[in-house]
């Protein structure tokens, strides 16, 4: 039986659990630490193993879903998420929040603290409190290990079967459908277990603890029952096309009542929407228009008729649409107005600099970002954008310096490796460039392109022996994963 491409990628990435590969480094052998998922003793994943599982899952997500790579949106969702994490029992633990460009109303919590939120859900929220409610709920699922508990109920699955099952639970129909997954896993037990979902008790616990997290972080805890009640009322409206979020997080009247009762134990606390939330929604809204001309009409009409919650956010969306339509001078004019009103807002500094670069104002663009970086030296969107503009300005050394610093803090950001590959190539270091591209493709879940890049790197002249040995080790790991995938396909 031929497997669907998405299922092939799923198995490929899950098999990589046995060969953990980190960019440009040979990971330690983890075979001795792997749990026996079929053992009657009921082994539990260690924190290290859960992180490895999470990384493999994230590679699968990148290979099959449109994970948003925009530094501003990425930084916003992670800043909001970590604000909540730092007011939970997981304080000090690393979580990774990411946005998926998809109109579906959905969110999920993966192993290792990976939490995905669909853009459709962000646009459905009516306040930052509601978005925080969803994140707090998903954070609790991770902290309480709800998914791993459900996963561990079946003790007759092998490691690969169990890992595939866990991924199927997390992404639901995104894995290619029940039939495809059944073919990939190949056991009736897996077919039964892929129906595992969070229990009602899990959901109530996630609501209860999530509400506590919201209150401690300064958000309005009443937003959680309010949002879920609105989702619950959507049942009749959506009929057969029920949002995925409601399938995986079933809403009942009793659950809403319990959540409201919990929220009412706290005094009312007003939390106004942050400008960053409103700007993120405007940016996401602008992305929903396939033709930038339609986005221009939408935001221009909203500004003219006063149909906005924030004039700054509406003007920002208008500027983004103008920029995408390559009407750079008009876009720059809008950004100039915004910067006069909000001179320190990172979204405006970054966007204005991108626009200036596109309209030939390179010195102005670089000077603005360099000045902003001096004030905010650890800001990811500022630094990654500055590195990109350095490359466009023909300054690869400055770009590489920024990127190497960012890689130490953000080792899993795919954008960093893609830019490092370009910076190395621009300096004539082709072997290094191909290694960075191999890391980029691997993190994207694309094993064949990663293999090709490593093979090209090996053919470069004047390689040092230690570098050749490192590349060969990486190549062997990638080839091993590809071969395991081929063997698995032949079985089905």
What's the pLDDT tens digit per position in 41-71? 334 567 777 787 788 778 878 887 899 999 9
Please check whether residue 376 lies inside any domain of the structure: no
**Domains of the chain: total:** 2
DSSP per residue, 311-343: HHHHHHHHHHHHHHTT-HHHHHHHHHHHHHH-T
Please check whether residue 426 lies inside any domain of the structure: no
CB burial class (10 A; 0-12, 13-18, 19+) of residue 88? buried
Two tokens at 405? Answer: 């610093």
Residues 292 and 255 in one domain: no
pLDDT of residue 132: 98
Picking from 246, 264, 282, the residue at the C-terminal end of a domain is 264
User: 366 and 393 in contact (C-beta within 8 Å)?
Assistant: yes
Question: What is the DSSP code (8-state) at residue 97?
Answer: E
pLDDT of residue 10: 47
The rounded distance, in Å, linking the Cα atoms of 207 and 228 is 10
Please check whether residue 416 lies inside any domain of the structure: no
Picking from 338, 358, 378, the residue at the C-terminal end of a domain is 358
Give every CB contact of residue 41 below 8 A, 6+ residues apart in sequence.
Answer: none
Please check whether residue 320 lies inside any domain of the structure: yes
Residues of the chain with pLDDT under 70: 1-45, 148-198, 234-244, 246-248, 485, 488-492
Please check whether residue 131 lies inside any domain of the structure: yes
User: 107 and 118 in contact (C-beta within 8 Å)?
Assistant: yes
Please check whether residue 331 lies inside any domain of the structure: yes
Residue from 102, 130, 138, 220 carrying the catalytic annotation: 138
Residues 69 and 135 in one domain: yes
The residues facing 438 across adjacent strands are none
Domain range for 341: 274-358
pLDDT of residue 33: 33
Residues 119 and 160 in one domain: yes
DSSP per residue, 100-154: E--SS--EEE-GGGEEEEEHHHHHH-SSHHHHHHHHHHHHHHHHTTHHHHHHTT-
Among the listed residues 240, 204, 242, the one whose alpha carbon sits nearest the alpha carbon of residue 225: 204
pLDDT of residue 198: 58
Phi, psi of 310 (to 5 degrees): -145, 120
Please check whether residue 210 lies inside any domain of the structure: yes
pLDDT of residue 293: 98
pLDDT of residue 212: 96
Residues 101 and 246 in one domain: yes
Ranges of H-type helices in 379-413: 380-392, 396-409
Strand-pair category, 96-100 with 114-118:
parallel
pLDDT of residue 48: 79
pLDDT of residue 187: 37
Residues 49 and 109 in one domain: yes
Picking from 308, 328, 358, the residue at the C-terminal end of a domain is 358
Judge whether 138 counts as a catalytic residue.
Answer: yes
Query: Which contiguous run of DSSP H or E holds residue 355?
Result: helix 346-358
pLDDT of residue 111: 82
User: 146 and 202 in contact (C-beta within 8 Å)?
Assistant: yes
pTM: 0.86
Residue from 50, 75, 102, 207 carrying the catalytic annotation: 207
Residues 201 and 316 in one domain: no
Greatest Cα pair distance in the chain: 69
pLDDT of residue 189: 40
DSSP per residue, 185-231: H--HHHHHHTT----HHHHHHHHHHHHHHHHHTTS-TTHHHHHHHHH
């Amino acid at each position: 039986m031929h497997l669907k491409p998405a299922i092939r990628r799923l198995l490929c990435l899950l098999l990589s659990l046995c060969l953990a590969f980190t960019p440009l480094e040979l990971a330690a052998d983890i075979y001795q630490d792997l749990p026996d998922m079929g053992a009657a003793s009921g082994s539990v994943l260690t924190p290290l193993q859960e992180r490895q599982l999470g990384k493999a899952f994230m590679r699968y997500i990148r290979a099959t879903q449109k994970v948003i790579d925009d530094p501003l949106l990425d930084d916003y969702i992670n800043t909001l998420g970590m604000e909540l994490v730092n007011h939970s029992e997981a304080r000090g633990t690393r979580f990774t929040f990411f946005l998926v460009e998809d109109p579906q109303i959905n969110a999920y919590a993966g192993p290792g603290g990976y939490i995905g939120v669909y853009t459709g859900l962000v646009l459905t929220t009516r306040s930052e409190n509601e978005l925080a409610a969803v994140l707090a709920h998903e954070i609790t699922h991770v902290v309480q290990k709800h998914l791993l508990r459900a996963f561990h109920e079946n003790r007759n699955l092998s490691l690969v079967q169990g890992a595939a099952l866990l991924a199927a639970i997390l992404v639901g129909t995104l894995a290619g459908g029940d039939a495809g997954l059944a073919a990939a896993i190949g056991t009736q037990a897996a077919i039964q277990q892929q129906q595992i979902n969070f229990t009602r008790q899990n959901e109530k616990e996630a609501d209860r603890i999530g509400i506590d997290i919201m209150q401690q972080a300064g958000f309005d805890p009443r937003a959680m029952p309010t949002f879920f009640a609105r989702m619950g009322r959507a049942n009749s409206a959506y009929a057969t096309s029920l949002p995925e979020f409601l399938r995986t997080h079933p809403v009942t009247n009793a659950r809403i009542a319990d959540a409201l009762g919990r929220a009412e134990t706290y005094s009312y606390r007003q939390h106004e929407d942050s400008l960053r939330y409103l700007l993120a929604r405007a940016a996401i809204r602008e992305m929903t228009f396939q033709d930038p001309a339609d986005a221009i009409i939408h935001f221009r009409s909203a500004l003219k008729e006063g149909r906005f919650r924030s004039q700054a956010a509406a003007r920002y969306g208008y500027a983004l649409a103008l920029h995408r339509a390559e009407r750079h001078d008009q876009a720059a004019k809008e950004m100039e107005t915004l910067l006069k009103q909000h001179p320190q807002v990172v979204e405006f500094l970054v966007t204005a600099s991108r626009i200036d670069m596109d309209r030939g104002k390179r010195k102005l663009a670089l000077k603005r970002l360099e000045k902003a970086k001096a004030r905010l030296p650890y800001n990811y969107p500022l630094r990654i954008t500055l590195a990109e503009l350095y490359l466009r300005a023909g300054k690869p050394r400055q770009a590489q310096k920024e990127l190497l610093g960012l890689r130490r803090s953000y080792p899993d950001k795919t954008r960093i490796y893609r830019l490092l590959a370009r910076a190395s190539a621009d300096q004539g270091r082709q072997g290094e460039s191909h290694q960075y591209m191999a890391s980029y493709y691997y993190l994207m879940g694309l094993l064949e392109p990663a293999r090709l890049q490593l093979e090209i790197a090996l053919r470069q002249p004047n390689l040092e022996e230690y570098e050749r040995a490192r590349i060969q080790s990486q190549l062997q790991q990638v080839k091993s994963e590809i071969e395991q995938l081929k063997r698995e396909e032949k079985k089905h």
